[in-house]
Copies of this chain bind each other. A is one copy, B any other.
Amino acid sequence: MKLACFGAGRIGGVHARNAAAHRDVILAALVDPIDTPQRAALAEQTGAKISAAEDVFADDSIDGIIIASSTNSHAGLLEQAAASGKAVFCEKPISLDFGLTAVVVDKVEASGIPCMMGFQRRYDASFLAARQRIDSGISGPIEQLSMWSRDPSPPPRSYLETSGGMFRDSTIHDADMLRFFLREEIASVYAVGASLISPDIGAAGDIDSLMVTVTTVSGRQGQITACRRGPMGYDQRLEALCANEVLTIGNQPQSMLSVACPTGGLQSPPENYFIERFTQAYRDEMAAFVAMIRDGIPPHAGIRDGYEAQRLVEAAIVSARTGQPIQYGKDWRP
């Protein structure tokens, strides 16, 4: 199977290397308009040819594309993939413009191309084990879901400016997890946000600390607590109160070494950041992309999940701005 990767940055590098290392994949092309040493190195490591986008879409031997380029290119690439009938793996978000997201999702679905969203947490062993345990029936239904999502430190100002804001950039992953675990129509969304940790973020009109509360139509409750800074490092936890038991996903320590000294016992800190924390999840996600193309196995997250996660954060944005809860439902639009 031949794949092409758009984007030679940090996340592009992860996906390109995982694709190239997959037994059944040839990474045929790497597309990135900017000629950097990083692009050259990635091409060499993966054996991919540095290519132009139009050549990729024109090449019938390429089965699928990986969209890991800058956010503002996602929508256009999705449309071209739909037009040329290529399978797509797309990093979130589809577009910072929700209207455009809606249009593109419709086009992709109409085209019938297999399309998978890059919500890698759905492929993480711990999150997946929780999902499967609930699916087995042993836990009983979730009644209250709590999630934490904290980066080790705030992103640089340059990143913030094109990020679309904390909700769209970061909380979209947590919104996806809410949907992945609650699996019921959401009735209300309430969010608060503030800039507490970084004058830069506040000056840019963005927030860095937020809480979101949702309810489902049957009254079940979900909660996200997120911050652009986690003093204990990268913090990605979840706790699901189910009828029969409570499931907890903790952070993954860097090693199993702990140290006990007079002031207490020191555990190893969590894996630094998403690249380290989700190393295996990214591999498994790429394998799922291959399996989707080759065997038609549905991925854990399709294009519609990308749309719905984004719709949910748009509601949170409106709530945080107006101070009012959103009466959500199937048909709410920002």
Contacts and interface: CB of A to CB of B under 8 A. Distances in A.
Given A227-B144, A227-B241, A231-B262, A126 B246 contact: no
A201 B219 CA distance: 14
B209 A257 contact: no
Contacts of A254: 125
Contacts of A243: 197, 231
Interface string A235-277: 1000001111111111110111111111111111100000000
B196 A143 contact: yes
Contacts of A261: 231-232, 244-246
A266 B260 CA distance: 9
A133 B257 contact: yes
A231 B244 contact: yes
A323 interface: yes
A269 B232 CA distance: 19
A51 interface: no
Contact of A256 (B242, B244, B250, B268): B250
Q: Which one of A139, A192, A213, A257 has the greatest number of beta carbons of chain B within 10 Å?
A: A257
A292 B286 CA distance: 33
B257 A245 contact: no
Interface of A: 21, 23, 45, 125-126, 129-130, 133, 139, 143-144, 146, 148, 150, 188, 190, 192, 194-197, 209-211, 213, 215, 218-221, 223, 225, 227, 230-233, 235, 241-252, 254-269, 323-325
